[in-house]
Structure 1
């Protein structure tokens, strides 16, 4: 399976990564900014408990998006996905089956005061990002 690395659409991977980062910025900073704080049990004036280093807070999600997009690129190539319809299906399977499911699983712990709300706010981004990435990667393959 990893023999597909030389055949990856590196342009598609790069564009999909940029698109996912842009979508994340729009989604988390604009679309759900206020409800997200509510889901976390915080106000805009209140800093997060156990503040982590700003580098981790800012770069961590970007690194995760790069890894998820790269993994999708590898799987799309290994599975021989070549059509937009199959890319959408792949994106939905990964987005719902892995990313959204893990979002809810992560939220179901005592640190999240509103786990269902947290999952419902985050899952659409991960599903949309997965579909968007799969389509872009496939289009540039």
Structure 2
């Protein structure tokens, strides 16, 4: 079932990774920077996120997510946009939203539901883009 490595269109993986990763920059730096800071209890502070860890770390995590989703995409023989959207919903809600919400329910995150809303929606959009790109370039 998972002998799909030779079938994968690797350029689609690169495109999906780039889209998901760049979405993160747009999401947290342009669309929701203040709400994100509020969710962390740092509304009036500058976030200390300029080190390489805060750029490379999320990039590696997004790459792992895209690769795992690609393996499922090919193993499940997804060929239509409808099936791609269903996979995005299953992976998005079943893993990404659930895990993000679990992480947010933490005494160190003062606004866990706001944090979860911002970050979960980012991952839902990112994984949806990933699955649509994989379907378009298969």
TM over 0.5, yes or no? yes
Select which of 54, 58, 62 maps to 2:55.
58
Q: CA deviation at 1:47?
A: 4.4
Match of 2:131 in 1: 134
Q: Normalising by structure 2, report the TM-score.
A: 0.93
Where does the alignment leave 5 or more consecutive residues of structure 1 unmatched? none
Unaligned runs of 5+ in 2: none
Partners of 2:136 and 2:83 lie apart in 1 by 11
Distance 1:104 1:44, change over 3 A: same
Runs ≥4 residues deviating over 4 A: none
In the alignment, the residues of structure 1 paired with residue 85 and residue 24 of structure 2 have an alpha-carbon distance, to the nearest angstrom, of 19
The 5-angstrom pairing of residues 1-141 of structure 1 reads 1-48=1-48, 54-141=51-138
Q: 1:121/1:47 Cα in 2 relative to 1: closer, same or farther (>3 Å)?
A: closer
Distance 2:128 2:54 in 1: 25
RMSD: 1.5
In structure 2, relative to structure 1, the CA distance for the partners of 1:112 and 1:2 (3 Å cut) is: same
Native 8 Å contact 2:39 2:115 kept in 1: yes
User: Alpha-carbon deviations, 1:2-34, whole Å to 9, x = none?
Assistant: 311111111111110111112111111111100
8 Å CA contact retained: 2:96, 2:120: yes
Alignment size in residue pairs: 138
Instruction: Assess if the C-alpha contact under 8 Å between 1:9 and 1:73 holds in 2.
Output: no
Tell me the CA shift for residue 71 of structure 1.
0.6
